[in-house]
Amino acid sequence: MNMRAPIVMEIIFIIIAVIVYLLTANMFFIFNFLYIGTAIAIGLFFMAKGKDYARNIILLAIGSYLFIYVGILGHENISISGFWYYLGLGVFEAAVVHFLIAKIVGPLLFGRGWCGYACWTAMILDLLPYKTPKSERKSWGHVRYILFLLIFCFVAALFIVKVNNLDLIIFYAFIIGNLIYYAVGIILAYKLKDNRAFCKYVCPITVFLKISSYFSLLRVTVDGDKCVDCGKCIKECPMDVDMLDNSRKRVNGTECILCLKCVHGCKKDALKL
């Protein structure tokens, strides 16, 4: 990664901030996207300097901001239940904007970069000791689709039944839901010796991400002339992605979180973003 990346990222988020502000006339989005862009730019600067902790800085800065400031203090449910809720109301609120940029349209550019640099669940899970998976991947991917459907049905039922204090219920759903996510994620990490087990098998957000990430412009690719097929990149990848295949159909290709662990670990400089 070169030193231009932080500047480019800052410019991209300035553009996003201006566009969203013009669409919503809400000054919050200027602050929101400038903060996120600056946090990413600072983290990328340290990544370019080869600092191992750089991505954790970005995760903590953005994840805690979204979860604590926007979510808890701002009473905004920016999880998937909040997305369905505000979409059902026809309101262009933080959750809808967040999902459109980070998880539906944005991944066409940066794939699952959200998971690697902004997710408040991964913010905690990546601090656990199993950064490199210690067990073979399980065939539990269907769990995410079941959870995705259950959350959708839960929010739809709230509208159908017309319960009172719907805003408060959705807010509590954000708090309780995320506490459950943390608990399940930590248990799975220790059980399977894999920090990212929750991301692979349970997280319902990936139902959106897997579709658009397939077409992502930012992708890690391999130079076949330099690669010596040592397999280190695959073994160390937290998401079990086959980096030795440049095809979009490569194994777990839509799950690359752009952590660049494979790029930095390749002694032959065969991998690049």
Q: With 80 as the cut, is the pLDDT of residue 118 above it?
A: yes
Please tell me the distance from the alpha carbon of residue 39 to that of residue 58, in angstroms, as a whole number: 6
At residue 3 the predicted structure's pLDDT band, cuts being 50, 70 and 90, is: low
pLDDT of residue 92: 76
What's the pLDDT tens digit per position in 38-47? 988 888 888 7
Residues 6+ apart with CB under 8 A from 82: 76, 95, 170, 173, 174
CB neighbour class for 154 (10 Å; exposed up to 12, middle 13-18, buried from 19): middle
Domain ranges of the chain: 77-216, 219-273
What's the pLDDT tens digit per position in 14-24? 988 898 888 88
The whole-model pTM stands at 0.86
Stretch 237-247: mean pLDDT, rounded?
Answer: 88
CATH of domain 219-273: 3.30.70.20
Residue with tokens 């662990």: 261
At residue 1 the predicted structure's pLDDT band, cuts being 50, 70 and 90, is: low
